Amino acid sequence: MSLFEDNPLARTGPEDPPDRGRPLAARMRPERMEDFAGQQHILGPGKPLRRQIERDELSSMILWGPPGVGKTTLARLIAKITKADFIPFSAVLSGVKEIKAVMADAERNRRSGRRTVVFVDEIHRFNKGQQDAFLPYVEKGDITLIGATTENPSFEVISALLSRSKVYALAALSVPDLVALLRRAIEDRDHGLGDQNLTVSDEMLEQIAVYSNGDGRSAYNMLELAALAAGSGREITTEIIEDVLQRKTSLYDKSGEEHYNLVSALHKSVRSSDPDAALYWLGRMLEGGEDRMYIARRLMRMAIEDIGLADPRALEHAVAAMQCVHFLGIPEGDQALAQIAIYLSVTPKSDAAYQALNEVRAEIQNGMAEPVPMHLRNAPTRAMKDWGYGKGYQHAHQFKDAVSEMECLPPSLSGREFYRPMQRGTEIRFAERLTEIKILRKNLRSG
């Protein structure tokens, strides 16, 4: 008798009727790719994994990502869409003996024209011997191996298996993705909570989404607890959400006035070199469930607009903080936002570069569109050289300190200064250098 016939998980048909005793996350597991949340970088139209599935050209793969982003669900969907038997393995419960028994059955399955997807959850927990046991069957094509891991597969999966698999990195679910999942669960009468006639606002769902930290399973669990606390036909209120989260919520309309008030307060506190106020307003935004990447973008703008070249490294630090937030998520990434807010508050300030560009734009909008002087034009052809393109150009590196006497602005703007550095931070040195350049240029022009 085939092991597949005895294994209730080795099938491609429809799921069993929903069991109300199962957790909400299990009941709401999507059965169609269209209902799968997130991961558009690999599953969107024309993306690599989507093309593999649509063309039925499946190969072994490793799904690498944080908990609750749908690794198991995706593996099940792939097996279902490609009409393959699905066999799950657990690193805790399965040894080499069990692996070999199923692999032998998979080989017979292939000979009869049936395909097998073997799903190994937490593959990083399998030892080398267990991972080695899959190799010959992957190589022969008896199975399509799908491994799932929260750890870097480069360190945790043996090189022989890794070289035969494509690694797909899955990202934490975004707040809008999670809100959509939760709203679907609230409305689904067959698998979700629709028969309870619950009322819940999008703001309440956003709070759950924010504090689930990109983990869909965690978000479902919190919603289920909130539904139990509310009872059938009732509203899931702020008080219920606070009880579930075990913390006070601080909601504000992220598209309304309070949103812009808090952003303005944060920006102006940084500009005023007040780190304590900046931290306070940042904390208000974090506790209100503001999108962390939005905050990171605003802090990057402050580094450009208010610090500028007084501290050129401020922008580098802001970009690094944004990457940290993207990589770590909540709550660890929040500390990066706090650090960059403090840094931007205490570092020297200058808006000279910001004002310089504004002044240039005003000149362009109000003045003539001056032609590029002939000596600054490129002359890639002989004819253009004959017409005077590039004539009189002075190559800066042929002069002392790489400064020539050549004028680069149009004649009508000759001598015009747009950038006027402040006497703060690094711009003190920039001002000194500009003075040196003016003296060198003056000496060259005077002969």
Residue boundaries of the structural domains of the chain: 3-169, 175-245, 257-346, 372-445
* 257-346 CATH fold: Zinc Finger, Delta Prime; domain 3 (1.20.272)
**Domain 372-445's class?**
mainly alpha
Query: What is the pLDDT, as a whole number, of residue 335?
Result: 93
Share of the chain above pLDDT 70, in %: 91
Q: How far apart are the first and last CA of the chain?
A: 100
CATH number for the domain whose boundaries are 175-245 = 1.10.8.60
pLDDT given at position 105 = 72
pLDDT by residue (tens digit) across 74-101? 988 888 888 888 888 776 556 666 777 7
Question: Cβ distance 285 to 295 under 8 Å?
Answer: yes
The Cα 317–Cα 3 span in angstroms is 57
Long-range CB pairs of 90-99 (<8 Å, 24+ gap) are 90/121, 90/122, 91/120, 91/121, 91/122, 91/123, 91/124, 91/125, 91/126, 91/130, 92/122, 92/125, 94/130, 95/130, 96/129, 96/130, 96/133, 99/130, 99/133, 99/134
> How is residue 318 written in tokens?
């802001």
**What single DSSP character describes residue 63?**
E
Q: Which amino acid is at 74?
A: L
Residue pair 312/357 in contact (Cβ under 8 Å)? The answer is no
Alpha-carbon distance of 165 to 60, in angstroms, equals 5
Residue 264 scores a pLDDT above 80: yes
pLDDT for 1 beyond 70: no
Among the four given CATH numbers 3.40.50.970, 3.30.1700.10, 3.40.50.300, 1.10.10.10, the one describing domain 3-169: 3.40.50.300
Residue 10 has pLDDT above 70, yes or no: no
> What per-residue confidence (pLDDT) applies to 2?
42
